[in-house]
């Protein structure tokens, strides 16, 4: 736990505390009365209410539409499965501003729905909810599907042989085993929608505002750092309470599971029921995931002769110090470094938390690991600039600052993906290996690692994907001569003109293709056949 605790203390707690102190402390005195003044304002109470209920609604809708997809990817085998799994994950790494723009082209004025049926959903909550499903669909599919694929199906088959109906067998056998993974996925979706920024700002218009949008407005438009600090504390407290409840409920329901090789659990669809589920999932993915991506690609091809793509090779009108295409290689370098950091920190934390004899202090750190997903990225970005600008940690001019910020978001995914599988490993296997003389390192290498290897690859893929698309904190700390893909896209979208908009769509398409290629490679590594455990 030493490295994870030190990492989160230095690169999360310290920057957040620095920015909050800058807002609430003046001339050496704390102005805590400002907290009550802010939270009692009617407009702030409205923001708090909308932030909460839209996050709950988005989470419920995402689970409703994504859990069948998790079943399909875990239990059914069909042509193009690996490619489709990579496509489903692509939306999660797109910058939220691009997600909002793609959905605006679908549901806004002159969008696809407006052209076909005269229906507009922009500036409505439905546009926000659907965009959140598009963005978070992969979280449920990969988090729940990763464990579901390794559950031994013979346990459910045994219940069926004893007379249980398919629904009862699933409810009594499979669902309790999946509960920790479902809870983890629901938590991540809730945190992402609770702190939603780009989607709400573009699709919601002035009628809707989340805490994240309000923090950004108070910071960059009103320049009221004190109010922004109070809202950050409110967000921090709400997320902390949710994580404590989650850690307590999930811990009570976890138990040892029998895990098998994921490659032997998937079968070709059998019967009308499985074919119906597969067709429904494919239709949902086509409408909610693939269609916005198709619109994105089409917009990038509006200029004749791939004009928008050719324009990416030059710095053009001075918007960039380097050609926008340079951001592709920069993002890959940063994402690789961030993934290595996230896997190291998150893997060590998951291994410590998975121990049955872990104390309360260690188990409490489980909830703290998720806080970077629920705290304003604007706050973290500003905090990096304030806290890490003087010795002994003067990192403002160092390239490692961006991967560190990205790893803060990637590490919780590593923990949440690996922890259910690590806790499901039967402790008697470790004890037997130790009795036979194996060292602790060899026990981990021979017992734990083969069972969690696929979960580790999934975790690394998530961390890489999140790093590619991280925008909120990176936009404040990325160097002008080394912008990442999301920063470059946002910079292009902020400037008027069809050329800049077209280049933003082209660069977003490149980001989508790079991510899909990386995820497809990961899928091929993850589905190699190594026999049953």
For the stretch 381-438, pLDDT in tens is 878 888 887 777 778 778 888 999 999 988 988 887 888 788 777 777 877 888 888 8
- Whole-number Å distance between alpha carbons of 415 and 426: 19
- Contact between residue 379 and residue 16 where contact means Cβ atoms under 8 Å apart: yes
Task: State pLDDT tens for residues 266-313.
Answer: 678 877 888 898 899 999 999 888 888 888 888 888 888 888 888 888
How much is the average pLDDT of 107-130?
Answer: 75
Top pLDDT among 225 and 73 is at: 73
- Whole-number Å distance between alpha carbons of 103 and 196: 15
- Whole-number Å distance between alpha carbons of 354 and 180: 13
Distance of CA 3 to the CA centre of its chain: 23
**According to the model, what pLDDT value does residue 264 have?**
54
**According to the model, what pLDDT value does residue 529 have?**
42
**Minimum mean pLDDT range among 136-140, 324-328, 345-349, 422-426:** 422-426
Q: What is the DSSP letter of 389?
A: E
Question: What token pair was written down for 277?
Answer: 């589920």
Strand partners, 267: 76
Owner of token pair 């690590």: 422
- Contact between residue 30 and residue 165 where contact means Cβ atoms under 8 Å apart: no
For 475-488, give the DSSP string.
HHHS-TTS--HHHH
Strand partners, 393: 390
**According to the model, what pLDDT value does residue 404 have?**
92
Distance of CA 119 to the CA centre of its chain: 31
- Contact between residue 105 and residue 291 where contact means Cβ atoms under 8 Å apart: no
Of 49, 50, 194, the closest CA to residue 132 belongs to: 194
The pLDDT of residue 530 is above 50: no
The pLDDT of residue 254 is above 70: no
- Whole-number Å distance between alpha carbons of 427 and 412: 24
- pTM comes to 0.75
How much is the average pLDDT of 461-477?
Answer: 81
Helix (H, G, I), strand (E, B) or coil at 76: strand
Of 294, 211, 255, the closest CA to residue 423 belongs to: 255
Reported confidence tier of residue 532, pLDDT bands at 50, 70, 90: very low
Q: What angle do CA 387, 389, 392 make, to 5 degrees?
A: 90
Q: What number of other Cβ atoms are within 10 A of residue 68's Cβ? A: 16
- Whole-number Å distance between alpha carbons of 479 and 487: 10
- Whole-number Å distance between alpha carbons of 293 and 221: 32
Of 200, 82, 10, the closest CA to residue 521 belongs to: 82
**Max Cα separation, the chain?**
74
- Whole-number Å distance between alpha carbons of 374 and 194: 7
Pairing relationship of beta strands 389-390 and 29-30 according to DSSP bridges: unpaired
SS (H, E, C) 7-24: HHHHHHHHHHHHHHHHHH
Helix (H, G, I), strand (E, B) or coil at 205: helix
Q: Which helix (H) or strand (E) holds 394?
A: strand 393-394
The pLDDT of residue 531 is above 50: no
- Whole-number Å distance between alpha carbons of 237 and 375: 10
Q: What number of other Cβ atoms are within 10 A of residue 399's Cβ? A: 14
Pairing relationship of beta strands 389-390 and 393-394 according to DSSP bridges: antiparallel
Please provide residue 176's backbone torsions phi and psi, each rounded to the nearest 5 degrees: -60, -35
- Whole-number Å distance between alpha carbons of 413 and 462: 7
Q: Please, which residues have CB within 8 angstroms of residue 191's CB and are 6 or more apart in sequence?
A: 239, 242, 370, 373, 374
**According to the model, what pLDDT value does residue 178 have?**
83
Reported confidence tier of residue 31, pLDDT bands at 50, 70, 90: low
**According to the model, what pLDDT value does residue 28 have?**
63
- Whole-number Å distance between alpha carbons of 265 and 262: 6
- Whole-number Å distance between alpha carbons of 375 and 203: 22
Q: What is the DSSP letter of 445?
A: I
How much is the average pLDDT of 226-232?
Answer: 81
């Amino acid at each position: 736990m030493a490295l994870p605790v030190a990492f989160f203390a230095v690169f999360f707690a310290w920057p957040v505390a620095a920015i909050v102190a800058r807002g609430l402390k003046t001339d050496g005195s704390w102005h805590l009365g400002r907290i009550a003044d802010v939270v009692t304002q009617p407009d702030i109470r409205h923001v708090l209410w909308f932030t909460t209920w839209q996050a709950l609604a988005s989470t419920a809708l995402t689970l409703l539409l994504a859990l069948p997809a998790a079943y399909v990817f875990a239990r059914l085998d069909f042509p193009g499965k690996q490619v489709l799994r990579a496509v489903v994950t692509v939306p999660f790494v797109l910058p939220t501003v691009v997600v909002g723009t793609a959905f605006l082209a679908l549901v806004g004025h002159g969008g696809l729905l407006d052209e076909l049926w005269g229906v507009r959903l922009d500036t409505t909550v439905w546009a926000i909810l659907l965009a959140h499903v598009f963005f978070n669909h992969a979280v449920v599919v990969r988090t729940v599907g990763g464990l579901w694929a390794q559950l031994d199906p013979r346990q459910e088959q045994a219940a069926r042989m004893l007379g249980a109906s398919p629904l009862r067998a699933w409810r009594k056998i499979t669902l309790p085993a999946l509960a920790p993974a479902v809870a983890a996925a629901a938590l991540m979706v809730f945190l992402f929608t609770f702190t939603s920024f780009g989607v709400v700002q573009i699709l919601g218009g002035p009628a809707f505002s989340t805490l994240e949008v309000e923090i950004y407005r108070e910071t960059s438009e009103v320049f009221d750092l004190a109010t922004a600090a109070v809202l950050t504390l409110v967000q921090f407290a709400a997320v902390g309470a949710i994580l404590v409840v989650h850690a307590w409920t999930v811990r009570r329901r976890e138990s040892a599971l029998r895990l098998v090789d994921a490659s032997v659990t998937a079968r070709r669809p059998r019967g009308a029921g499985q074919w119906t589920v597969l067709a429904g999932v494919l239709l949902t993915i086509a409408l909610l995931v693939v269609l916005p991506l198709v619109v994105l690609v089409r917009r990038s091809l509006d200029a004749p002769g791939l004009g928008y793509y050719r324009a990416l090779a030059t710095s053009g009108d001075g918007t960039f110090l380097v050609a926008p295409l340079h951001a592709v290689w920069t993002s890959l370098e940063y994402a690789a470094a961030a993934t290595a950091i996230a896997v190291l920190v998150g893997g060590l934390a998951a291994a410590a938390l998975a121990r049955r004899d872990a104390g309360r202090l260690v188990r409490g750190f489980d909830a703290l690991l998720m806080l970077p997903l629920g705290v304003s990225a604007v706050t973290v970005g500003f905090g990096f600039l304030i806290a890490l600008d003087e010795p002994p940690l003067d990192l403002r001019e160092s390239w490692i600052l961006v991967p560190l910020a990205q790893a803060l978001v990637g590490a919780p995914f590593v923990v949440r993906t690996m922890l259910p599988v690590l806790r499901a490993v039967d402790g008697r296997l470790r004890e037997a290996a130790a009795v036979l003389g194996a060292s602790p390192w060899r026990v981990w290498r021979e017992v734990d690692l083969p069972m969690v290897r696929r979960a580790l690859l999934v975790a690394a893929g998530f961390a890489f994907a999140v790093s590619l698309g991280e925008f909120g904190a990176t936009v404040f700390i990325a160097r002008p001569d080394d912008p990442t893909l999301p920063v470059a896209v946002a910079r292009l979208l902020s400037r008027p003109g069809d050329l800049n908009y077209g280049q933003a769509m082209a660069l977003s398409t490149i980001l989508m293709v790079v991510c899909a290629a990386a995820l497809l490679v990961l899928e091929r590594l993850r589905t190699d056949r190594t026999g049953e455990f």
